[in-house]
Amino acid sequence: MVLALALPGVAVGALAQPLGGLSPATANAKPPFLASQLVAQMQPTQVSMVSPELIADYHRKLKEYQEARAAFEQRASAYWASIAEKRHGRYAKRRDHQPIVLDDYVLTQPPVYTGPKRPANPLPESEPQEPRERKYVPVVTDLLQAAAEYFQWAPEQPANDMDFKRAYARFASAAGLTREQAVRVYAFETGGNGDHASQSGFHGTRAISTAIGYNQLLTTNTVELLAEQGEPLIKALTDKAAHLNGPQRRTMDTKIAVLKKMVALARSVPDDWSEHEKLGDTPRGWALHAMVLDIDVGPMLQTHKLLTSVIFAREKGYTRPLTAAELEMMNLTGDGTGLDMVTMPLAMREQVPTANFFQRSGYERNPVAIRHNTVAKLLAVTDARMDANSNLPGARDLAAAF
């Protein structure tokens, strides 16, 4: 979800744009045509409709815009290069067990473009540009269709969502997550009323993300969890099957066989986020993502997504229990980036801009991180949203399930 509040598009360890020069769009921009060149390309009726004075004024404004934008791009490129440089430095210091200090962060906010807007061209475009095709985001029906096609299987969905909440609460509690962590993350991720199949930004037939469920797992998350947690997942189902008989046992045996095939598929690519993302973007990856909807496996996947963050923090020497807001930062931004914020002393959180934890493209698409532009403010708005949404019926039901 990188913040919906959504930081999701933020890849773990993603870097800012490289230092040097202008952005590709600016660097490759063609110089504007002269007025005489434009007039030469126009039909007589078009020439009579647009005066040379208007064309000349357009080119003057366009030149001003391009110069202002180029100057801004130089400042922005230098800023985001310094963000990347500081991030690399923190990784190195953390690896060498050296303390992180305030100087290890960029303490100024990103530059904001305040120059003139691009002027409207008074002339019709000679070749109208094709609208850019939007990447298709699979929805739940696509996942179910893919699971049926590739595995001849359908996830066992609950008769009502309270059943799924109970299953999730049982597994999460046994794994060591607290009720407060689970409920407040749910309240933040789903708005306090989501069900096991809630998808990010879903409206009718379209969604803005593949994020689904109480923790809003992406297809990439599911591929990664199946690859890394395959044995515990299979063992949990096998242990459960030992206590079943008749049709229930046959259903569970079929599910175990499918899960084994899915784990094998997830492990058929290198254990790397980008490789998992590539698989997740295919119909076979969609089929794996359907497992999030299953009442037996879905709660385990949802729990492991949070539990891996708790374990990661503990392995890095952070022994204090994570607050729900801190856990959410790790859930949204990735464990390494999230821990960078979580381990920051309270006094530093007031001074460090949120831009330190983004690459440029993700930051500029994230109005919440821009508006709440320090670590302290971002954690505070996350807590406030959790407070408000925890009082809604879905969150109260999940709390009661614990």
User: pLDDT tens digits for 41-54?
Assistant: 544 444 457 788 89
- Span of 1-5, 72-76, 309-313 with lowest mean pLDDT: 1-5
Q: Given this model, what pLDDT does residue 337 score?
A: 86
Does the pLDDT of residue 131 top 80, yes or no? no
Q: Given this model, what pLDDT does residue 126 score?
A: 62
- Please write the tens of the pLDDT for every residue from 189-228: 999 999 999 999 888 889 999 999 999 999 999 999 999 9
Q: Given this model, what pLDDT does residue 28 score?
A: 44
Is residue 94 very low, low, confident or very high in pLDDT (cuts 50, 70, 90)?
A: confident
Distance separating alpha carbons of residues 39 and 179, to the nearest angstrom: 70
Among candidate residues 1, 11, 9, the one with its CA nearest the CA of residue 335: 11
Give residue 317's region: left, alpha or beta (phi > 0; psi -120 to 50).
Answer: left
Does the pLDDT of residue 40 top 60, yes or no? no
Cβ-based burial of 300 (10 A; exposed 0-12, middle 13-18, buried ≥19) = buried
For residue 374, count other CB atoms closer than 10 A to its CB.
19
Q: What's the pTM value of the predicted model, to 2 decimals? A: 0.78
Residue 176's H or E segment, with its range, is none
Does the pLDDT of residue 245 top 90, yes or no? yes
Distance separating alpha carbons of residues 114 and 122, to the nearest angstrom: 23
Phi, psi dihedrals of residue 112, rounded to the nearest 5°? -120, 135
- Please write the tens of the pLDDT for every residue from 155-167: 999 999 999 999 9
Average per-residue pLDDT in the chain? 87
Most confident of 170-184, 306-320, 337-351: 170-184
Does the pLDDT of residue 299 top 90, yes or no? yes
